Amino acid sequence: MKPKDALGKYGEELAARHLMVKGFVILERNWRCDLGEIDLVAREASDLVVCEVKTRRSDAFGTPVEAVSARKVRRMRTLALRWLDERNVNPRDIRFDVVGIVQPLVGPPQITHLRGV
């Protein structure tokens, strides 16, 4: 596995644990279709949460959260509609969150969770 891929997988695991500690229920990880991938699908109370996870070693080139462009958010919405259709799920509310993780070479990770991007 490439170091970048390993860092991404590690970040997704950290993000899932972070969300679970906050009371989220993880429904699916790394769901894929021909249009792309959803990192995490979770439930928080009655909300369905589609979550993008970005992990970096530093914020030298911008924070992980800043790496989620308007285009990426539009793609998340399209993917969410596909996921809902394939799973035949009709949630009362759906929300799009971003979890940004900076994992320096030394020290603990820094986790930022943006709700409703």
Whether the predicted pLDDT of 3 surpasses 80: no
Q: Which two tokens stand for residue 64?
A: 């992980």
The confidence score (pLDDT) of residue 8 equals 87
Question: pLDDT, tens digit, for every residue of 72-89?
Answer: 999 999 999 999 999 998
7: phi > 0 → left, psi -120 to 50 → alpha, else beta; which?
alpha
Confidence band for 29, pLDDT divided at 50, 70 and 90: very high
Cα–Cα dist 48/96, whole Å? 9
Question: pLDDT, tens digit, for every residue of 32-70?
Answer: 999 999 999 999 998 999 999 999 998 888 899 998 988
Rounded to two decimals, the pTM is 0.91
The confidence score (pLDDT) of residue 59 equals 85
Q: Measure the CA angle with vertex 28, ends 66 and 49; round to 5°.
A: 50
User: Domain 3-114 adopts which CATH fold?
Assistant: Trna Endonuclease; Chain: A, domain 1 (3.40.1350)
Tell me the domain boundaries of the chain: 3-114
